[in-house]
Amino acid sequence: MESLGTRIAVALRREREAAGLSVSELARRAEVSKATISQLEGGAGNPNVETLWAIATALGIPFSVFVDDPVPITRLVRGRDMPAVPSGVAPYAAALLSACPPGARRDLYVIRADPGGTRRSAPHPRGTIEYVVLISGRALVGPESDPATLEPGDFLTYAGDAPHVFEALEPATSAVLLSEAR
């Protein structure tokens, strides 16, 4: 099984070249440094969720393209073994559970977060809808302008193509998030 850094490197180069973009142009569009793009394509660096989302948005692709590990149809993922990508601005990490197969456009994640910061997400591609089921803890989730306080078992749907937030209000908060592009 290849490492997450290797998966990111291979996917980033493949998607950048498929889009016909230079490292400089992708960096400009994603508002990250050329060095960041070069390091990631070289398998170095330690990207955070914000950087990968910015690059994915600049390329017009789902975030999952960078982190998905192709697997057989039957798949057991142990919670303790999930490779998660951490946030650079909040105690938050996203672990991709299931990437959307070709022709479909949805990704499934497990979110783990602790109090100490708000994870702000820039708008994803137009038409994106996010669905969240809170599993444990409490969290402030949804549109940046009007987030909802969720408790275990609560379900929330909101537009992912507008600024949105996830802020843990209790330690060991976890949720399942489905991101669907239409």
String of DSSP letters for 11-30:
HHHHHHHHTT--HHHHHHHH
Q: Which residues lie below 8 Å from residue 90, measured CB to CB, with a gap of 6+?
A: 113, 116, 117, 118, 119, 166, 167
Q: Pick from 43, 67, 91: which residue ends a domain? A: 67
Same-domain check for residues 85 and 14: no
Q: What is the pLDDT along the chain (182 residues), one digit of tens a residue?
A: 568 888 899 889 989 998 999 999 999 999 999 999 999 999 887 888 899 999 999 999 888 888 876 655 556 667 777 778 889 988 998 887 777 666 667 888 999 999 999 999 999 888 888 999 999 999 999 999 999 999 998 899 999 989 999 999 999 999 999 998 87
Same-domain check for residues 171 and 139: yes
Whether residue 58 contacts residue 29, with contact meaning beta carbons closer than 8 Å, is answered with yes
Q: Which domain holds residue 107?
A: 79-180
Q: Pick from 67, 87, 110: which residue ends a domain? A: 67
Same-domain check for residues 88 and 142: yes
Residue 72 lies in a domain: no
Same-domain check for residues 53 and 24: yes
Kindly state the DSSP code that residue 141 receives in the 8-state scheme: E
Nearest to 130 by CA among 71, 65, 179, 73: 179
Kindly report the pTM of this predicted structure: 0.61
Number of domain units in the chain: 2
Per-residue exposure over 25-57, b if at least 16 CB sit within 10 Å of its own CB, e if not: ebbebbebeeebbebbbebebebbbbbbbbbbb
Residue 56 lies in a domain: yes
